Structure 1
Amino acid sequence: MSVLDALQETLAGEHAALYTYGVLGARTSQAATPDLYDALTAGYRRHRARRDRLRVLVEEAGGVPVAAAAAYELDGPLLRAAQVEAAAVTIEESSTEALLALVAQSVGPVREWALTEATWSATWQLELGGEARTWPGAPELG
């Protein structure tokens, strides 16, 4: 896999993450669960910035940034706060995996940026109620 391929895959994942965070935010009450709403808002903002940075990195690598899909399929109903939290943890697990794949394929500033973002996603899982893992982003090592 080339650096450009890894960038494109990571960007595609960020499109899906933003879509999902938008749905999760719409299914969360700022009045009833303010901490969850704030966490989802922070996650959405971080992923939006990440998506924007990835678009630039793809262009700098000579590619045309992959477009977002019209819609993404979500797993099951997201009606309760615990379901919303679990879905957000899944987003961060997937993001950590994709970013660490980018770390493995890149060097220099791209690698440093991807590692910083992977660390954020791995840590953010804990903020969202996820479990600490020995090898975040590498479930095959667990």
Structure 2
Amino acid sequence: MTTLDALQTTLAGEHAALWTYGVLGGRTSQSATPDLFDALTAAHRRHRSRRDQLRSLVEDAGGEPVAAAATYELDGPLLRSTAVQAAALAIEVAGVETLIALVAQSSGAVREWALTEATWSGTWQLELGGAPQTWPGAPELD
């Protein structure tokens, strides 16, 4: 896999994350679950920024940024705040894995950026009720 391939894979993941966070935000309530609502809003903003940065990185690497799909699959109904929170946590777990793969396939500024973003998503898992891990994004090392 080339750096460009890893960037495109990461960008595709960010498209899915943004779409899913949009759905999750629509399934929570700012008045009933303000902490969850705020966490989803902050994550959506971070992922939107990440997506925009990835588009630039793909173009800088000589590629045409992969487009978002029209829709994405969700795992079951998201009717309770616990299910919404679990779905958000799954986004961050998957994001760290993808970003760590980008770290492995890149160097310089791209690698530094990917590591910073992987660290953010790894830490954000705690905000979403995840458990601390020794190696977020690399379960084979646990």
Report the TM-score when normalising by structure 1: 0.99
Shift of 1:100: 0.5
Off by >4 Å, runs of 4+ in structure 1 = none
1:94 aligns with 2:94: yes
1:22 match: 22
Aligned residue identity for 2:113: W
Structure 1 SS opposite 2:68: coil
- Corresponding residue for 2:137? 137
- TM-score of the aligned structures, taking structure 2 as reference length: 0.99
Q: Does 1:12 align with 2:24?
A: no
Shift of 1:75: 0.2
Per the TM alignment, residue 133 of structure 1 is displaced from its structure 2 partner at its CA by 1.1
CA distance in 1, matches of 2:69, 2:77: 21
Name the CA distance, whole Å, in 2 between partners of 1:111 and 1:41. Answer: 26
Q: Give me the whole-angstrom Cα distance separating, in 1, the residues matched to 2:87 and 2:20.
A: 8
RMSD, matched Cα: 0.5
Q: Return the offset for 1:123.
A: 0.1
Instruction: Tell me how far 1:140 sits from its aligned partner.
Output: 1.9
Quote the residue 1:35 is aligned against.
35
Instruction: Give the Å deviation of 1:139.
Output: 1.5
Percent identity of paired positions between Structure 1 and Structure 2: 76
Aligned length: 142
**Structure 2 segments unaligned to the other structure (5+ residues):** none
Secondary structure at the aligned position of 1:30 is classed as: coil
Aligned partner of residue 54 in structure 1, secondary structure = helix
Q: Which residue of 2 aligns with 1:78?
A: 78
Distance 2:91 2:70 in 1: 18
Residues 100-111 of structure 1 aligned to structure 2 (within 5 Å): 100-111=100-111
Structure 1: 5+ residue runs without aligned partners? Answer: none
- Give the distance between the partners of 1:130 and 1:5, measured in 2 at CA: 29
